[in-house]
Amino acid sequence: MHEIEPYFSWLKYYDSSEDERSPFYGKEYNYDLYQDAIYNYYIDPAWDYIGSETLYIKLLFVDYKRGFAVIDFIGEWNDAVTNDIMFLKRNILDHLYLNGINQYILIGENVFNFHGSDDCYYEEWFEEIEEGWIAAINFRDFVVEEWKKYDIDSYINIGGELDVPNWRTLTPLVLYERIKTVIGRRIDLT
């Protein structure tokens, strides 16, 4: 797991440690010291701690004018034991929401497992963003199936055209416009 890095090419567009409104503002990264681990497997020092021992993130891009954030994940999303959604909601999402973010693109290709519990925090997040949306891209099929089992897909848009295997070849704004278009078509259909 230590070889899985967050995507670095978007640093020319956005760096959460330099964004005064970011929950990671001022964080200094030591790329020579691997100290964070998930189940005794060290992870790259560029991943950010959210309060959970099993799930880390990287805030890849935030656009306050358009109101969206792109968040990459690594680890095991465990709501049953470590209540990861609570840590994500309280420590990251609430902060972003207070700064005008109501559209979220969650990248989950490095989420290796999901253990569900209730959907209260997802429901709260969904209701809070009102005119916004939450889109999950590139999550593994078995994670998506578990989300469906716990009714999380009622709050987070997943699957179909939202999976963008080539997202790294896009700029943040192109990815956003692509996801926004898909979400718009889904909303129009309901």
Distance, CA of 43 to CA of 34 (rounded, Å): 7
pLDDT on residue 123: 94
State the pTM of this model. Answer: 0.95
- Spatial CB neighbours of 121, under 8 Å, sequence gap ≥ 6: 79, 85, 86, 88, 89
List the chain pLDDT tens, one digit each, 190 residues.
Answer: 678 888 899 999 999 999 999 999 999 999 888 888 999 899 999 999 999 999 999 999 999 999 999 999 999 999 999 999 999 999 999 999 999 999 999 999 999 999 998 889 999 999 999 889 999 999 999 999 999 999 999 999 998 899 999 999 999 999 999 999 999 887 665 4
- Helix runs in 36-171, H state only: 84-88, 94-98, 120-128, 141-149
Q: Measuring CA to CA, how many Å separate 119 from each of 80, 116, 129, 143, 163?
A: 11, 8, 16, 15, 23
* pLDDT at residue 190 in the model: 47
Q: Say which CATH superfamily domain 9-189 falls into.
A: STAS domain (3.30.750.24)
Distance between CA atoms of residues 52 and 140, nearest Å: 20
Compute φ and ψ for 31, nearest 5 degrees. -75, 0
Domain coordinates in residue numbering, the chain? 9-189
